[in-house]
Structure 1
Amino acid sequence: MKTKAIRSPYDYYLLFRQLEEHGKTIYGPKFLLHDVDRPVVIKLLAYFLQDEAIAAVEGIDLHKGILLTGKIGCGKTSLISLIRALAPESYRPHMISCRQISFEFSKIGYDVISRYSTEAFFPYTNVPKVHCFDDLGVEQTVNYWGNNCNVMGEILLSRYDLFISNKMITHVTTNLNSQELEEHYGNRLRSRMRAMFNLLPFHADSIDKRQ
């Protein structure tokens, strides 16, 4: 791997092996890190380990979040769930399904938006919580007392403001490409997402891990 020629405090070969073993424990003995996925795994490792040397070479901004994209079944959720465990607690994201958030909104309304934005701080501090919103785009526009709301769009816009003011970090996984994201959430949010995220796409040849 090209990372061998770069000074880093981490042994990425060993990390790959540890991730595979942990993946087998969690997801079963057939779990593998495929060669075609190695570039995105390296980037995720460098990010969550806050490895400045590798992140610089891979073009990763450690002050932004991660937008992990790829086709259905390529392993976005399982991979980021495994790697997040390596991160220091302050960088370790809480995983939450966008679909679950839409269900929460249908029950309790607009308080859900503040729950994941203006109220997403550790108690009695101004330290923001890191969230990873899983499967962005599968949620539906929700109706609450006759009012339709694009819940995730509003949450992400609010977290963008907090990214600017409080350095709040957000991660997202999605099956959607940039054009589909704009169709779902509008150009206003798409332009802010460029500022909020490092774009990490899975390779188009990445296989369906559910098979």
Structure 2
Amino acid sequence: MEKRKALSIREVTSTNVTLYDILKNDIQDIVTREKEKIEHQRLPLNLDFSEFRDLFILSGSYNFKRQNQQHDFVIDANNEFIIQQLYLYMKNDSSFDGDLNKGIMLQGKYGCGKTAILETYTLLHNHMILRFGIPIPLFTFIKSVNLQEQLMKQSIQSFTYKPLVIDEFGRESKTIQDYGNILRPISELLSVRLDIGATTHGTTNFTLETLASNDFYGGMIGDRLKMMFNFITLHGDSRRK
């Protein structure tokens, strides 16, 4: 804890200010600084939704083109609510339909467009940071299988603090044998990131109940997932052609 001024207990008792008041003010200052730190991690987004929507379509279409897909990104009745929620979340707007202090876990059927949406969100977010030199970290978009491979090659510390967007969450092996030891890299990483408040988003084909089952991460990690993520469902069938 930071100190405004180092005072001994004797000095405190010789003033009209109580020890309780001093400690309360110190803690309130710390809480305020933590809130400001969280707010500074969000983009100063001076755009209305129609402008954000147009930029999202352009960024999504670019994302398709770089993947050698010739169609454009389309916002329709199935995904417009999700795009709007991402806009409110990026603005840190209290009308967001969830908890702004949690990340977003986009869930839905195979092929319904979850990856395209959060990949586009990542591209647009990172472009704005780089374009205007905003002093906040870039998102790292990574599939859960690749993340697990990187955790085994490097360490959990390599991915502890950086903002992550974990694609296809739950598709990776939940345990790994390493010289007779059973390791759970993703579970360990999630626990550490929750404890330090690192920003984490993701996509998944599975419900929270399934992810919290013994066949996946189990009840303890499942309970942490509730604390980490706003689970938002993307409706609709596969868009793949």
TM-score scaled by length of structure 1: 0.76
The yes-or-no answer on 1:112 pairing with 2:155 is: yes
2:227 to 183, 190, 195: 195
Structure 1 gap ranges (5+): 1-7, 121-128
Q: What is the match of residue 88 of structure 2? A: 46
- Report matched runs for 1:76-91 at 5 Å: 76-87=114-125, 89=129, 90=136
Q: Can you give the 5+ residue segments of structure 2 that lack an aligned partner in the other structure?
A: 1-44, 65-69, 130-135
Determine helix, strand or coil for the equivalent of 2:177: strand
How do residues 145-160 of structure 1 correspond to structure 2 at under 5 angstroms?
145-160=179-194
Q: Do residues 143 (structure 1) and 185 (structure 2) align?
A: no
Which consecutive segments of 4 or more residues in structure 1 shift more than 6 A? none
For the residues of structure 2 that align with 1:29 and 1:58, how far apart are their CA atoms?
Answer: 30
Q: 1:187, CA displacement in angstroms?
A: 1.1
In the TM superposition, residue 30 of structure 1 has moved relative to its aligned partner by 4.1
Aligned to 1:173: 203
Contact preservation (8 Å) 1:69, 1:173: yes
> Of 165, 168, 186, which aligns to 1:132?
165
- Aligned identity (percent) is 25
Amino acid at match of 1:33: I
Corresponding residue for 1:71? 109
In the superposition, the TM-score normalised over structure 2's length comes to 0.67
Q: Which has the higher contact order (CA 8 A, sep 6+)?
A: 1
d(CA) in 2 for partners of 1:158, 1:187 = 17
* Alpha-carbon distance in structure 2 between the residues aligned to 1:176 and 1:136: 8
Letter in 1 for 2:139: P
Distance verdict in 2 for CA 1:32–1:112, change over 3 Å: same
Q: Does 1:162 align with 2:196?
A: yes
8 Å contact 1:93–1:131 — kept in the other structure?
yes
Q: 2:124 is aligned with what amino acid?
A: L
Aligned residues: 181
- Kindly provide the CA deviation profile for residues 96-115 of structure 1, in whole angstroms up to 9, marking residues without a partner as x: 11101222345x3xx53222
- Say which one has the larger Rg: 2
CA RMSD for the aligned pairs? 2.1
Q: Does the Cα contact within 8 Å between 1:95 and 1:133 map onto a contact in 2?
A: yes
- Asked if 2 retains the 8 angstrom alpha-carbon contact of 1:134 and 1:172, the reply is yes
Q: Which residue of 2 aligns with 1:57?
A: 95
CA 72–65 in structure 1, closer or farther in 2 if over 3 Å, else same: same
